[in-house]
Chain A
């Protein structure tokens, strides 16, 4: 989230699209009801199904799964055409006036530079025209045909209301009503918030869906303001923490990057991370990358990381591929290239697409280790459960070890919520049986591995032997020790950067903020964005003061929010170029004539004069991007791409399949249904239900009572067409697998008219498996296709093609 849960109460309009907040985030949704009750806010829901969120909305419109970019570009087109633009914001705080290279263009659904062979773009033309002074060329009058604004106008021109209706299936009148409601928020005194979740991310173009809404929010002037923002509702209670800490193969904590094999040495690695401003006077905060990186290396390897050995850069692994994401790992496993796999708090047999492939892959492992508080399906993948897990146990040779762990309520530590609040919590119960904390298990394994390296050497023991491990009990690091390490501390005296005689921190002291991080080895810090969470004043994450001066929803003394305890990112943009709040009734900060101050931590150097330093301090431009240059693999603007399995061809280019640059493994490519395949005419989409949390709560009898058995949701029309009765048993199948379910026949899903043909949507909730207290069932991953987002490899769970038929009752065993 750019903002926070508590800030949603400040909004005038909530748009829930690409998510189902009431259903999947019921507790956070209370802030929507607050905004409705106390500000008279309106709620719009755009979703393939009339959801629980829709049940309390002011306006609902249906949309075909996988067509969100068409809808969003259509809204942008409507706003531009109807002058619903916050012009002062767009002119001053976006790159609308920046000139783009003449070679850049778009035709037939593709941007310039596409290489079909490589399934990749040459992105060199997707950039600004640079002046000889090294700064970008602009036209503040927005007249130049090559300025971003005019390119955007041209880009969205195809997305007329008629085109939206044809491709999304959203009736034109409903679409225009929504445009009108959204357009009202282009005034400086009205804001809209976007609440989205996996309904936008789980597509082969998920990141571009989100870009589309972010661009709309910028055009309306809704980023950085109270009640505005792009608010990703994270799907697990600590999934924000997972990304922050960089638990991905290509990341280092704090959104730093693991080097690639092309960056064999430190100088090469750092050369692309200078982040010099391309507009004069801009902050370009990533210029501090070196400080964060050196402090990280010092946290990892202490004295072994020295300037002479490039901070032990050679200890870091170098990626030979963009990432070893989940789908790549399972592909490798399926080729017999993985021997040992650790599943820590992870149930991929149900949570990764194409379950048949997952079962095959696990069967090829030598050993599978499960660390989990529950007996998961993955840990029992070898066990035959009839139709629910139809495997030949005798043919599976994989050894499975289960290490029972504690669950969140038995741990002390911190969880990071969607609003970036790092909230400390305390253990509420004693772990049962042999359950151990994950940290205990990891420490035990590490110490044994380390001893093996000590005793037997090995090809490269240094990164293991020299790893900093200065915990009081090396066999069980404590949560507070780990938290202090992530915050960072001084290793030797740290001096002020300007006044070099002034001491900022003495050796051994906790650092107060990441401004104290240094690139000379005098500081260490495991995760720079968490700096300030555990200072010399103690554990800031444990703060529980709920006073809220000005009733702004900031709650600055409740826990700690990264970065720097800031509650609304880009909050400098809540003020006009002179530093006065766009909406005085919703002030966050303002320029006093000398400095920035207010209710939140200013997202700008506090003495940076208005007009000189622009609000988007992380970007070398100082402004936000309507045109994202070469930052994303699939285009600088979002362009409509059909899902890999779709009922119609891409209207811009019939030859284009899915996202043209998404990675597709050969074995998966053979498992896509053809576009418009009559055997698979229905669009399927997956989702969660309020009664359950993923595959966990089916182990709890209470949740099992509330939603006991796997079902699929279909329209009354489809039910009539196929002879399916409410509560009857159905078989649903795709090119990859089949499931049996109960039919929930509903008015909340309606057939759609897409490009002249009737398309049915089938809803497939995801909570059932063959373990636990609920009835045995299936998940959507038995059916869904294994392809991910072109930028981040999030699987395309939200749009794939299936068929459905009535099925005889399950034979009584």
Chain B
């Protein structure tokens, strides 16, 4: 077993100053789209989660800003259409979005401004991956992160159909599908996602899923003491739980938060149809594509720093999938 990067801490921690090897290796992939018999890893990474505490969120959009900066995307400067959501929806260049809902609580008749950060939920049972016909276009690591490997994406849009949360967006420029990566490139070197790092009120925190659940329980206790009797965690079982979880003041009605699904499930159509497609896809593209998929994970630009890229390249060149030691 190779030495790996430290386990993720909450995003408040300062990043390491020494070069660190990637903690996400080809051998940590547990599922690959349109691929059967993925060799199971010889180690299990600790499950991670990003916790979004809606009750602490002030809707400042620092997360959106950090997401744009880190991923170096350039969303369009749109018009104002009379709402606070800007851009107006998730786009291939905007992986996360604050959604604002003005909700009058029927019990108190008080207005509540519900602000929810929307983006990929990183399902334990990812509908996008199940739906995807392109071998290696979507992978899941043993820590729970679901990542798109754009080199292998054919832009068919099945992932959009497969997603119970309506997250992926297909680029009209390069015809690839885009969504939040949970900053897999940052997590790979022991850091939290950029959005969590930027959040001024620590409404977004990141760590092991176990720690995040424990933190959420504390928050729920506080909310209950303030009169939110139905405060709770959103970690929907219908998709096997998620690696992005919410604390909601009104966990009994998730859909008031701009349509967060009350009981998300992968469409039965997708569940039923995927087997055939997957086989067909494999037949067309050949088994070699699996290797390409794995390669794709590491050939992707890693914006951490030059030395990270260099290390990654060395890893790929060594081809043993067992590097990562600095």
Contacts and interface: CB of A to CB of B under 8 A. Distances in A.
Contacts, number: 121
A215 B23 CA distance: 58
Contacts of A746: 102
A773 B62 contact: no
A22 B199 CA distance: 12
B65 interface: yes
Contact of A726 (B83, B86, B87): B83
Interface in A45-61: 50, 52-56, 58, 60
Interface in B56-88: 56-62, 64-65, 68-69, 74-84, 86-87
A744 interface: yes
Contact of A30 (B80, B111, B200): B200
A27 interface: yes
A23 interface: yes
A706 B86 contact: yes
B204 to A, nearest CB: 12
A705 B77 contact: yes
Given A690-B60, A727-B81, A708 B111 contact: no
Given A53-B58, A55-B59, A707-B86, A27 B200 contact: yes
Contacts of B60: 22-23, 26, 52, 690-691
B102 A56 contact: no
A423 B111 CA distance: 40
Contact of A727 (B80, B104, B203): B80
Interface string B221-232: 010011000000
A743 B79 CA distance: 12
A708 B65 CA distance: 13
Among B76, B201, B202, the most chain A Cβ lie within 10 Å of the Cβ of B201
A368 B313 CA distance: 55
Interface in A702-756: 702-711, 725-728, 742-748
Given A55-B112, A742-B82, A690 B68 contact: no
Query: What size tier do the contact residues of chain A reach?
Result: 35 or more
Nearest to A743: B82
A702 B65 contact: yes
Interface in A673-718: 690-691, 701-711
A169 to B, nearest CB: 16
A33 interface: yes
A33 B83 CA distance: 26
B113 interface: yes
A77 interface: no
B55 interface: yes
A774 B113 contact: no
Contact of B61 (A706, A709, A774): A706
Given A50-B113, A708-B77, A711-B82, A29 B58 contact: yes
B115 interface: yes
Contacts of A27: 200
Interface string B75-118: 11111111110110000001000000010100000111111000
A36 B222 contact: yes
A773 B77 CA distance: 8
B72 to A, nearest CB: 11
B78 to A, nearest CB: 6
A53 B201 CA distance: 12
A40 interface: yes
A705 B202 contact: no
Given A23-B58, A56-B55, A709-B80, A747 B104 contact: yes
Nearest to A745: B82
A702 B82 contact: no
A706 B83 contact: no
B225 A56 contact: no
Given A748-B102, A773-B77, A775-B79, A708 B86 contact: yes
B82 A26 contact: no
A26 B79 contact: no
A747 B77 contact: no
Contacts of A22: 58, 60, 201
B250 to A, nearest CB: 14
A26 B58 contact: yes
Interface in A762-783: 773-775
Contacts of B62: 26, 690
A332 interface: no
A387 interface: no
Contacts of A726: 81-83
Among B55, B82, B110, B111, the most chain A Cβ lie within 10 Å of the Cβ of B82
Query: What size tier do the contact residues of chain B reach?
Result: 35 or more
B39 to A, nearest CB: 41
A747 B58 contact: no
Interface in B110-165: 110-115
B200 A26 contact: yes
B61 A701 contact: no
Among A706, A725, A743, the most chain B Cβ lie within 10 Å of the Cβ of A706
Contacts of B82: 711, 725-728, 742-745
A83 B303 CA distance: 62
Nearest to A56: B58
Contact of A702 (B59, B68, B79): B68
Interface in A600-622: none
A37 interface: yes
A257 to B, nearest CB: 38
B201 A30 contact: yes
Among A23, A53, A55, A774, the most chain B Cβ lie within 10 Å of the Cβ of A55
Contacts of A711: 80, 82
A37 B75 CA distance: 35
A747 B111 contact: yes
A22 to B, nearest CB: 4
Contact of B225 (A29, A30, A40): A40
Contacts of B201: 22, 26, 29-30, 33
A58 B222 CA distance: 12
B12 to A, nearest CB: 10
B80 A744 contact: yes
A711 B69 CA distance: 26
A709 B77 CA distance: 9
Contact of A710 (B65, B80, B104, B202): B80
B87 to A, nearest CB: 7
Contacts of A33: 56, 201-203
Given A26-B60, A705-B77, A50 B68 contact: no
Nearest to A719: B82
Nearest to B104: A747
Contacts of A745: 82
Nearest to A744: B82
Given A37-B222, A40-B222, A56-B55, A705 B75 contact: yes
Nearest to A768: B80
A693 to B, nearest CB: 12
Nearest to A727: B82
Contacts of B104: 747
Interface in B17-71: 55-62, 64-65, 68-69
A21 B239 CA distance: 38
Among A26, A707, A743, the most chain B Cβ lie within 10 Å of the Cβ of A26
Contacts of A703: 65
Contacts of A50: 111, 113
Interface of B: 55-62, 64-65, 68-69, 74-84, 86-87, 94, 102, 104, 110-115, 200-203, 219, 222, 225-226
19 contacts: A23-B60, A26-B201, A40-B222, A40-B225, A50-B113, A55-B113, A690-B58, A706-B65, A706-B86, A708-B77, A708-B79, A709-B80, A725-B82, A726-B82, A726-B83, A727-B83, A742-B81, A744-B80, A748-B102
Given A711-B82, A744-B80, 14 more contacts: A26-B201, A30-B202, A36-B222, A55-B114, A56-B57, A690-B58, A691-B60, A702-B68, A705-B78, A708-B80, A710-B80, A727-B83, A742-B81, A743-B82
The 8 closest A-B CB pairs, nearest first, are A727-B82, A709-B80, A726-B82, A22-B58, A55-B113, A727-B81, A690-B60, A742-B80
